[in-house]
Structure 1
Protein backbone atom coordinates (compact mmCIF):
# COMPACT_ATOMS: atom_id res chain seq x y z
CA UNK A 1 0.00 0.00 0.00
CA UNK A 2 1.37 3.42 -0.98
CA UNK A 3 1.71 5.95 1.82
CA UNK A 4 1.13 9.61 1.14
CA UNK A 5 3.08 12.22 3.08
CA UNK A 6 1.19 13.63 6.02
CA UNK A 7 -0.49 16.92 5.29
CA UNK A 8 1.18 19.79 7.06
CA UNK A 9 -1.25 22.63 7.63
CA UNK A 10 1.56 25.19 7.84
CA UNK A 11 3.15 24.13 4.55
CA UNK A 12 -0.24 24.03 2.83
CA UNK A 13 -1.06 27.54 4.05
CA UNK A 14 2.35 28.86 3.00
CA UNK A 15 1.94 27.36 -0.46
CA UNK A 16 -1.35 29.22 -0.88
CA UNK A 17 -0.73 32.49 0.99
CA UNK A 18 2.91 32.75 1.91
CA UNK A 19 5.47 35.37 1.24
CA UNK A 20 9.24 35.19 1.82
CA UNK A 21 8.86 37.10 5.10
CA UNK A 22 6.14 34.82 6.43
CA UNK A 23 8.07 31.76 5.31
CA UNK A 24 11.15 32.98 7.22
CA UNK A 25 9.01 33.76 10.29
CA UNK A 26 7.54 30.25 10.28
CA UNK A 27 11.04 28.79 9.84
CA UNK A 28 12.33 30.75 12.85
CA UNK A 29 9.31 29.91 15.03
CA UNK A 30 9.70 26.24 14.17
CA UNK A 31 13.43 26.36 15.01
CA UNK A 32 12.69 28.03 18.37
CA UNK A 33 10.03 25.45 19.18
CA UNK A 34 12.43 22.65 18.27
CA UNK A 35 15.16 24.15 20.46
CA UNK A 36 12.74 24.40 23.42
CA UNK A 37 11.70 20.78 22.86
CA UNK A 38 15.37 19.68 22.84
CA UNK A 39 16.05 21.67 26.03
CA UNK A 40 13.11 19.95 27.75
CA UNK A 41 14.27 16.49 26.61
CA UNK A 42 17.82 17.18 27.81
CA UNK A 43 16.44 17.96 31.28
CA UNK A 44 13.98 15.06 31.30
CA UNK A 45 11.04 17.48 31.31
CA UNK A 46 7.73 17.46 29.47
CA UNK A 47 5.60 20.29 28.09
CA UNK A 48 3.45 20.05 31.23
CA UNK A 49 6.54 20.72 33.36
CA UNK A 50 7.32 23.84 31.35
CA UNK A 51 3.70 24.94 31.74
CA UNK A 52 4.00 24.58 35.50
CA UNK A 53 7.33 26.46 35.58
CA UNK A 54 5.85 29.33 33.56
CA UNK A 55 2.44 29.27 35.22
CA UNK A 56 0.78 28.63 31.85
CA UNK A 57 -1.85 26.18 30.65
CA UNK A 58 -0.39 22.98 29.16
CA UNK A 59 -2.45 23.59 26.00
CA UNK A 60 -0.64 26.90 25.46
CA UNK A 61 2.76 25.23 25.76
CA UNK A 62 1.64 22.50 23.35
CA UNK A 63 0.71 25.22 20.86
CA UNK A 64 4.16 26.79 21.31
CA UNK A 65 5.89 23.50 20.62
CA UNK A 66 4.09 22.99 17.30
CA UNK A 67 5.96 25.97 15.83
CA UNK A 68 2.73 27.80 14.98
CA UNK A 69 3.20 30.32 17.79
CA UNK A 70 5.05 33.59 17.17
CA UNK A 71 7.39 33.99 20.11
CA UNK A 72 8.04 37.38 21.66
CA UNK A 73 11.44 38.15 23.11
CA UNK A 74 9.71 38.39 26.50
CA UNK A 75 8.39 34.82 26.19
CA UNK A 76 11.74 33.53 24.95
CA UNK A 77 13.49 35.23 27.88
CA UNK A 78 11.07 33.68 30.39
CA UNK A 79 11.68 30.23 28.93
CA UNK A 80 15.45 30.77 28.92
CA UNK A 81 15.28 31.86 32.57
CA UNK A 82 13.31 28.86 33.85
CA UNK A 83 15.36 26.37 31.81
CA UNK A 84 18.70 28.06 32.51
CA UNK A 85 19.90 28.09 28.90
CA UNK A 86 19.76 30.51 25.99
CA UNK A 87 17.42 29.69 23.14
CA UNK A 88 18.77 32.51 21.01
CA UNK A 89 22.36 33.62 21.40
CA UNK A 90 23.19 37.22 20.61
CA UNK A 91 26.86 38.14 20.46
CA UNK A 92 27.76 40.78 23.02
CA UNK A 93 28.41 44.21 21.59
CA UNK A 94 32.05 45.08 21.19
CA UNK A 95 33.47 47.63 23.51
CA UNK A 96 35.57 50.32 21.88
CA UNK A 97 38.07 52.53 23.66
CA UNK A 98 39.23 55.82 22.17
CA UNK A 99 42.35 57.70 23.22
CA UNK A 100 44.14 60.82 22.11
CA UNK A 101 47.56 59.50 21.22
CA UNK A 102 50.75 61.46 20.74
CA UNK A 103 52.97 59.98 18.05
CA UNK A 104 56.19 61.88 17.38
CA UNK A 105 54.65 64.83 19.26
CA UNK A 106 51.65 65.03 16.89
CA UNK A 107 48.20 64.32 18.30
CA UNK A 108 46.11 61.67 16.55
CA UNK A 109 42.46 62.21 17.45
CA UNK A 110 40.23 59.36 18.55
CA UNK A 111 42.55 56.42 17.97
CA UNK A 112 40.52 53.21 18.13
CA UNK A 113 41.79 50.27 20.16
CA UNK A 114 39.51 47.30 19.59
CA UNK A 115 40.29 44.12 21.51
CA UNK A 116 43.76 45.36 22.38
CA UNK A 117 45.79 45.94 25.45
CA UNK A 118 47.21 49.40 25.96
CA UNK A 119 50.34 49.83 28.05
CA UNK A 120 51.63 53.15 29.32
CA UNK A 121 55.01 54.03 30.69
CA UNK A 122 55.02 57.70 31.58
CA UNK A 123 54.16 59.51 28.37
CA UNK A 124 54.87 56.66 26.02
CA UNK A 125 51.97 54.43 24.98
CA UNK A 126 52.46 51.08 23.38
CA UNK A 127 49.61 49.14 21.80
CA UNK A 128 49.65 45.37 21.89
CA UNK A 129 47.13 43.99 19.43
CA UNK A 130 45.42 40.77 20.36
Structure 2
Protein backbone atom coordinates (compact mmCIF):
# COMPACT_ATOMS: atom_id res chain seq x y z
CA UNK A 1 0.00 0.00 0.00
CA UNK A 2 2.83 2.41 0.91
CA UNK A 3 4.40 1.84 -2.50
CA UNK A 4 1.16 2.75 -4.29
CA UNK A 5 0.94 5.96 -2.20
CA UNK A 6 4.47 6.88 -3.26
CA UNK A 7 3.59 6.17 -6.90
CA UNK A 8 0.48 8.33 -6.67
CA UNK A 9 2.51 11.18 -5.17
CA UNK A 10 5.30 10.75 -7.74
CA UNK A 11 2.80 10.70 -10.61
CA UNK A 12 1.02 13.77 -9.29
CA UNK A 13 4.33 15.62 -8.88
CA UNK A 14 5.34 14.78 -12.44
CA UNK A 15 2.04 16.12 -13.79
CA UNK A 16 1.97 19.24 -11.57
CA UNK A 17 5.66 20.01 -11.45
CA UNK A 18 6.30 23.63 -10.50
CA UNK A 19 9.06 25.20 -8.42
CA UNK A 20 6.49 26.08 -5.73
CA UNK A 21 5.16 22.52 -5.51
CA UNK A 22 8.68 21.11 -5.38
CA UNK A 23 9.62 23.49 -2.56
CA UNK A 24 6.40 22.68 -0.67
CA UNK A 25 7.04 18.95 -0.91
CA UNK A 26 10.66 19.43 0.14
CA UNK A 27 9.65 21.47 3.19
CA UNK A 28 6.85 19.07 4.18
CA UNK A 29 9.25 16.13 4.05
CA UNK A 30 11.86 18.06 6.05
CA UNK A 31 9.27 18.88 8.73
CA UNK A 32 8.01 15.29 8.79
CA UNK A 33 11.60 14.01 9.15
CA UNK A 34 12.31 16.49 11.94
CA UNK A 35 9.19 15.38 13.84
CA UNK A 36 10.18 11.72 13.42
CA UNK A 37 13.67 12.50 14.78
CA UNK A 38 12.18 14.33 17.77
CA UNK A 39 9.83 11.44 18.52
CA UNK A 40 12.72 8.98 18.33
CA UNK A 41 14.89 11.15 20.63
CA UNK A 42 12.07 11.15 23.20
CA UNK A 43 11.33 7.45 22.86
CA UNK A 44 7.86 8.18 21.46
CA UNK A 45 5.92 6.63 18.61
CA UNK A 46 3.43 8.21 16.22
CA UNK A 47 0.55 6.82 18.31
CA UNK A 48 1.95 8.72 21.31
CA UNK A 49 1.94 11.93 19.28
CA UNK A 50 -1.64 11.19 18.20
CA UNK A 51 -2.64 10.79 21.85
CA UNK A 52 -0.85 14.01 22.87
CA UNK A 53 -2.54 15.97 20.07
CA UNK A 54 -5.92 14.21 20.42
CA UNK A 55 -5.73 13.15 16.77
CA UNK A 56 -6.35 9.88 14.95
CA UNK A 57 -3.20 7.82 14.42
CA UNK A 58 -4.01 7.69 10.69
CA UNK A 59 -3.79 11.49 10.49
CA UNK A 60 -0.40 11.48 12.24
CA UNK A 61 0.74 8.77 9.83
CA UNK A 62 -0.15 11.04 6.86
CA UNK A 63 1.81 13.88 8.43
CA UNK A 64 4.88 11.76 9.06
CA UNK A 65 4.96 10.32 5.54
CA UNK A 66 4.82 13.80 4.00
CA UNK A 67 1.48 13.18 2.27
CA UNK A 68 -0.28 15.94 4.20
CA UNK A 69 0.57 19.65 4.25
CA UNK A 70 1.37 21.11 7.65
CA UNK A 71 -0.28 24.32 8.78
CA UNK A 72 1.55 26.67 11.11
CA UNK A 73 -1.16 25.92 13.67
CA UNK A 74 -0.41 22.19 13.47
CA UNK A 75 3.34 22.75 13.66
CA UNK A 76 2.86 25.00 16.69
CA UNK A 77 0.74 22.35 18.44
CA UNK A 78 3.39 19.71 17.75
CA UNK A 79 6.14 22.05 18.99
CA UNK A 80 4.13 22.69 22.15
CA UNK A 81 3.54 19.03 23.04
CA UNK A 82 7.13 18.05 22.21
CA UNK A 83 8.59 21.11 23.95
CA UNK A 84 10.91 22.11 21.10
CA UNK A 85 10.83 24.35 18.03
CA UNK A 86 10.58 22.55 14.72
CA UNK A 87 10.92 25.70 12.63
CA UNK A 88 13.44 28.35 13.64
CA UNK A 89 12.76 31.93 12.63
CA UNK A 90 15.58 34.45 12.95
CA UNK A 91 14.81 37.24 15.38
CA UNK A 92 14.29 40.59 13.72
CA UNK A 93 16.80 43.27 14.55
CA UNK A 94 15.53 46.39 16.24
CA UNK A 95 16.81 49.73 15.07
CA UNK A 96 16.79 53.06 16.85
CA UNK A 97 16.98 56.47 15.19
CA UNK A 98 18.68 59.19 17.20
CA UNK A 99 19.48 62.83 16.67
CA UNK A 100 23.21 63.22 17.01
CA UNK A 101 24.56 66.49 18.41
CA UNK A 102 28.18 67.41 17.91
CA UNK A 103 28.93 70.52 19.88
CA UNK A 104 26.04 72.89 19.18
CA UNK A 105 25.27 71.48 15.72
CA UNK A 106 22.52 68.92 15.14
CA UNK A 107 23.48 66.22 12.67
CA UNK A 108 20.99 64.20 10.64
CA UNK A 109 19.14 61.19 12.05
CA UNK A 110 21.46 58.25 12.56
CA UNK A 111 20.43 54.60 12.39
CA UNK A 112 21.76 52.26 15.07
CA UNK A 113 21.06 48.61 15.73
CA UNK A 114 19.46 48.47 19.20
CA UNK A 115 22.46 46.68 20.72
CA UNK A 116 24.80 49.41 19.42
CA UNK A 117 23.17 52.43 21.05
CA UNK A 118 25.50 54.34 23.39
CA UNK A 119 25.50 57.77 24.97
CA UNK A 120 28.44 59.87 25.98
CA UNK A 121 28.26 61.80 29.26
CA UNK A 122 31.18 63.50 30.96
CA UNK A 123 33.60 61.71 28.62
CA UNK A 124 32.29 58.36 29.95
CA UNK A 125 30.76 55.90 27.45
CA UNK A 126 27.79 53.96 28.72
CA UNK A 127 25.19 51.81 27.03
CA UNK A 128 21.65 53.13 26.68
CA UNK A 129 18.97 50.57 27.43
For normalisation by structure 1, the TM-score amounts to 0.83
Structure 2 residue aligned with 1:38: 37
Q: Pick which of 19-28 and 9-18 moved more.
A: 9-18
8 Å Cα contact 1:118-1:125 kept in structure 2: no
Secondary structure class of the residue paired with 1:69: coil
SS of the residue 1:37 aligns to:
helix
Give, in whole Å, the separation in 2 of the partners of 1:84 and 1:100: 44
Q: Counterpart of 2:66?
A: 67
1:72/1:125 CA distance change after superposition, 3 Å: farther
Q: Does 1:77 align with 2:76?
A: yes
Uncovered stretches (5+) of structure 1, i.e. residues with no partner: 1-5
2:17 corresponding residue in structure 1: 18
Give the whole-Å Cα distance in 2 for the aligned partners of 1:83 and 1:37: 11
Query: Which stretches in structure 2 are left out of the alignment for 5+ residues?
Result: none
**1:127 shift after superposition:** 8.4
Of 103-112 and 80-89, more deviation after overlay is shown by 103-112
Aligned to 1:57: 56
* Partner Cα separation in structure 2 for residue 125 and residue 25 of structure 1: 54
Task: Find the counterpart in structure 1 of residue 91 from structure 2.
Answer: 92
Aligned length: 122
Q: Identify if the C-alpha distance between structure 1 residues 99 and 62 changes in structure 2 by more than 3 Å, giving closer, same or farther.
A: same
Superposed CA RMSD in Å reads 2.2
Normalised to the residue count of structure 2, the TM-score between the two structures is: 0.84
d(CA) in 1 for partners of 2:124, 2:100: 8
